[in-house]
Structure 1
């Protein structure tokens, strides 16, 4: 059971997890854990499933998925579009009206839809994954020089469920550098896995870049792959001027994670998000939602 905080209702809700029984089995049972280490965490499994989701045979899953998880298709950029496979549906674009973005330069917005955790005044060697599990920014980036610049800064972890909108965006105007790619495993990023795989974010395939934002300084964007996420697609152009809310990229099928690192004294995250994080609870947010203010 995964509990999250709904900012609108100010109440806790239980997440509807796609493949809940499967996740519990592969990460908690002896046979499942062995299968995960032998096959599921490896690139081949995610590639094979990714090919299936790109095939016409996967289209039959779409209607049931929409119904089971109450997905509002009226929010799509084109609500009448017919998807030829599951991945086309999964990476669907939403209308600008459904995800408004504040033009106030003092406001930090969420880079995507998902469940958000926020950590302030971070210790580079002990960034929280979940309670009891931490990792090092140096290990995550494999770049000591860059990591050192973010001591005492802010870390935002946005976990995307398979039911979420799976495109991620820029949080400010600015220019983004080249993407650096780090190969790795394909563990699930669901809390069930996070509570059992130490330093999972540093184990998984990931990509990162430095975004030189106009109002919040240099921000590290990290995209973490996961089970069945054989591909992270970057759609932005390095070195090109970016507007707040512009798309950075998207994940193909599977739950995934976007992590942002901001330098010390650049932003103050909203109190409710920080408080819920201190309790070990994620806060549900949508792309473009206000989550903090400039310092």
Structure 2
């Protein structure tokens, strides 16, 4: 059972997990772990499933998925019967009215929908995956020079579930450099997997780029792939000015993660998010929502 903090009700919601029984079996049984290492974590497995989700046949899954996870289709620009495939539905765009962006230059917003954890004054050699499991930023991106820029800064981990809106956005006006791609495995990024696989984010496929923001300094964006994520699609144009809330990219089918590293003394993260992280809980947020302010 995964509990998520609800900022509006100030209570904990129980997360509905897509394929929960499958995930528990895979990451808890000896047979499941064997299959994971031989087949499931491999690129071919996720690529094949991703290709299926691009087919017209896969669109038959949409209605049951929407009903099972109570997805609000009023938010979607496209009606439920207007999608060409499951991936078309999965990467759906939403009406702007449902994801208002706080344009105050002093307000720091969430880059996407999901469940967020926040860590201040980061020890770059001991970034928390879950309690007892750690990794370093240099291992994550493969660059000590870039990693050192974020010493004692803030780390934000936004976990997206298959039920979430799967587009991620820029948190401020600015320009973003070209993305660097790192090949890797395709482990699940659910808490079930994070508790079992050491340095999971450092093992999975990931992409990273430096965003030069107008109001919050340089920001390191990292997008991490996961089981059955067909692709990480970067939709922005490198080194071209973007506005706050502008789309950076999206994930095709699967749970995924966006990690942001902020420089020291640039942003105050909201206290409720920090407190819930210390208690071991993620906080539910949506794209454009205030999660901090400028120092």
How many Å separate the matches in 1 of 2:196 and 2:244? 36
Q: Does the CA contact (< 8 Å) of 2:63 and 2:80 recur in 1? A: no
Query: Structure 1-normalised TM-score?
Result: 0.99
Match of 1:115 in 2: 115
Q: Is 1:174 paired with 2:193?
A: no
User: Shift of the alpha carbon at 1:80?
Assistant: 6.4
Match of 2:104 in 1: 104
Match of 1:137 in 2: 137
User: Shift of the alpha carbon at 1:260?
Assistant: 0.3
How many Å separate the matches in 2 of 1:155 and 1:277? 11
Match of 1:77 in 2: 77
Residues 90/80 of structure 1: CA separation in 2 closer, same or farther (3 Å cut): closer
How many Å separate the matches in 1 of 2:8 and 2:288? 15
User: Shift of the alpha carbon at 1:84?
Assistant: 1.4
Deviations 1:107-154, CA, capped at 9 Å, x for gaps:
000000000000000000111111111110000010000001111000
Match of 2:9 in 1: 9
**Secondary structure of 2:253's partner?**
coil
Q: Which runs of at least 4 in structure 1 moved beyond 6 Å after TM superposition?
A: none
Deviations 1:245-295, CA, capped at 9 Å, x for gaps:
000000000000000000000000000000000011000000001000000
How many Å separate the matches in 2 of 1:30 and 1:118? 33
User: Shift of the alpha carbon at 1:233?
Assistant: 0.1
After alignment, is 73-82 or 181-190 more displaced? 73-82
User: Shift of the alpha carbon at 1:98?
Assistant: 0.5
Q: Does the CA contact (< 8 Å) of 2:91 and 2:252 recur in 1? A: yes
How many Å separate the matches in 2 of 1:80 and 1:98? 17
Q: Is 1:161 paired with 2:161?
A: yes
How many Å separate the matches in 1 of 2:126 and 2:80? 47
**Structure 2, unaligned runs of 5 or more:** none
Match of 1:48 in 2: 48
**Secondary structure of 2:259's partner?**
strand
**Structure 1, unaligned runs of 5 or more:** none
Q: Does the CA contact (< 8 Å) of 2:186 and 2:227 recur in 1? A: yes
